[in-house]
Amino acid sequence: MPEVEVAVAMTDRLKADLSHMLLEHKQVVIDLKALTEAANLEGREDVTHFAKKLMLHARTEEEVLYPASILIGEYLKLKLSQKTGR
């Protein structure tokens, strides 16, 4: 079960750092919006496309991946406690 304990530790760290990570994402999105505006002025559709995809990636992490990871960590903790009686 060492792999499970490592996974639980990782999800606990994610849970503890989540608010800080979300603040960083907010700043990244602000910067990406500025990049998008500048790219639009320069006619750089490739840069605009890149920035929009990166914003979508951040949103996917925030709304899907981070919550799912935390949920899995909580589930694994529950299973471990049932198995070990802790």
pLDDT at residue number 2: 82
- 3-state SS, one letter per residue, for the chain: CHHHHHHHHHHHHHHHHHHHHHHHHHHHHHHHHHHHHHHHHHCCHHHHHHHHHHHHHHHHHHHHHHHHHHHHHHHHHHHHHHHHCC
pLDDT of residue 21: 96
Residue 86 pLDDT:
61
Per-residue pLDDT band for 83 (boundaries 50, 70, 90) equals confident
Tens of pLDDT, residue by residue over 27-69, are: 999 999 999 999 999 999 999 999 999 999 999 999 999 999 9
pLDDT tens digit sequence for 17-30: 999 999 999 999 99
